[in-house]
């Protein structure tokens, strides 16, 4: 379907560089929606390095599309998420020393804690998604843990150097989509996607939603958020999908 979730964390990163009150990520979310975003994504990190509790609360009251909160499995964060009730929570790994989320959640190793978090979120009426690497066993474990969706980490593709390595990563993503869909999951994509590299990923059949942050916020600094989102939406819309022939056309 190629829906676009715009991650507005880095608008708050600029604000926090001065500990000031601008730019406001809530304004950025409104502008992103006016540019055609299908959803707004934010990450309320345990260290509150960019998005604050106030941002989360005002986003909940103002976002008119889909609100997707990225969260760690920390019990305090899950409690906050259950009280906030965004449309979707995407569970992600979190380390204080990382610059951004590095790789996917280890749903297999953290099975017990993940299941507890998913149950609490689902009981609160929130859709759940697991941010995982394109590894079949992690995707299957996500389905078993009760998630409705997985967001496949596209960082491996984004960081791959050379066409051969990129093609190998695209094949991994394609296989991950197949595993996710056959487990009955909705399959999203995210991390490291840019105006330059998004099209081959958007051409794969089966991704529903793309969560993109750094590249859009970077472009927004130059052309404005509304235009930056419009340009990314155009790329997603124009990505060619393989033609599927109906049985009597084959
Ligand atoms: N999806 C998830 C789960 C993430 O953690 C992030 C980064 O916060 C993104 C998507 C967006 O990644 P990027 O900023 O590289 O577009």
Residue numbers annotated as active site: 43, 70, 191
Distance, CA of 34 to CA of 4 (rounded, Å): 13
* 204: three-class secondary structure by DSSP: coil
From 73, 81, 77, 86, select the one nearest 116 (Cα to Cα).
73
Q: Is the CB of 63 under 6 A from ligand 1?
A: no
Q: What is the pLDDT of residue 102?
A: 72
User: For ligand 1, atom 5, which residue shows the shortest CA distance?
Assistant: 101
**What's the gap in Å between 58 CA and the centre of ligand 1?**
21
pLDDT tens digits along 216-237: 999 999 999 999 999 999 999 9
> Would you say the CB of residue 232 lies under 6 angstroms from ligand 1?
no
* Shortest-distance atom of ligand 1 to CA 9: 8
3-state helix, strand, coil in the chain (%, to 5): 50, 15, 35
| Tally of CB atoms within 10 A around 180 | 27
Map out the domains of the chain with their CATH numbers.
3-239 (3.20.20.70)
What is the reported pLDDT for 212? 98
* Residue 241: predicted pLDDT: 65
- Going by alpha carbons, the residue nearest to atom 3 of ligand 1 is 131
Mapped onto helix, strand or coil, the DSSP state of residue 67 is strand
At 43, which helix (H) or strand (E)? strand 39-43
- pLDDT of the residue at 240: 74
Residue ID of nearest Cα to ligand 1 atom 9: 191
Averaged over successive runs of 10 residues, the pLDDT of the chain (250 residues) comes to 96 97 98 98 95 98 98 97 98 80 90 98 98 98 98 98 97 98 98 98 96 98 98 94 65
Say if ligand 1 is within 6 A of residue 70 CB: yes
CA torsion through residues 216, 189, 84, 9, sign: negative
pLDDT of residue 1: 80
Q: Which of 211, 231, 210 is nearest to 220 (CA)?
A: 231
pTM of the entire structure?
0.94
Name residues whose C-beta falls within 8 Å of residue 137's C-beta, 6 or more positions apart in sequence: 108
**Which ligand 1 atom lies nearest to the CA of residue 43?**
8
Residue 250: its pLDDT value, please?
58
Pocket residue to mutate for ligand 1, from 39, 149, 191, most atoms within 8 A of Cβ: 191
């Amino acid at each position: 379907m190629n829906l676009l979730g715009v991650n507005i964390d880095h608008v708050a990163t600029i604000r926090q560089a001065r500990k000031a009150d601008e730019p406001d990520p809530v304004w950025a979310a409104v502008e992103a929606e006016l540019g055609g975003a299908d959803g707004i994504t934010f990450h309320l990190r345990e260290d509150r390095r960019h998005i604050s509790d106030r941002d989360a609360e005002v986003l909940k009251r103002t976002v008119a599309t889909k609100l997707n909160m990225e969260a760690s499995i920390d019990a305090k964060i899950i409690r906050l998420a259950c009280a906030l009730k965004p449309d979707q929570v995407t569970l992600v790994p979190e380390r204080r020393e990382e610059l951004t989320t590095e790789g996917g959640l280890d749903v297999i190793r953290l099975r017990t804690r993940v299941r507890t978090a998913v149950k609490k979120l689902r009981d609160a009426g929130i859709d759940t998604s697991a941010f995982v690497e394109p590894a079949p066993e992690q995707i299957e474990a996500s389905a078993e843990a009760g998630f409705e969706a997985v967001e496949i980490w596209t960082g491996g593709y984004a960081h791959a150097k050379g066409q051969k390595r990129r093609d190998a990563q695209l094949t991994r993503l394609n296989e991950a989509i197949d595993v996710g869909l056959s487990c009955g999951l909705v399959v999203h994509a995210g991390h490291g996607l840019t105006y330059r590299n998004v099209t081959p990923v958007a051409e794969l059949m089966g991704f529903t939603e793309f969560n993109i942050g750094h590249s859009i916020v970077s472009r927004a600094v130059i052309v404005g958020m509304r235009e930056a989102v419009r340009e990314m939406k155009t790329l997603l819309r124009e990505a060619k999908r393989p033609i599927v022939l109906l049985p009597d056309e084959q």
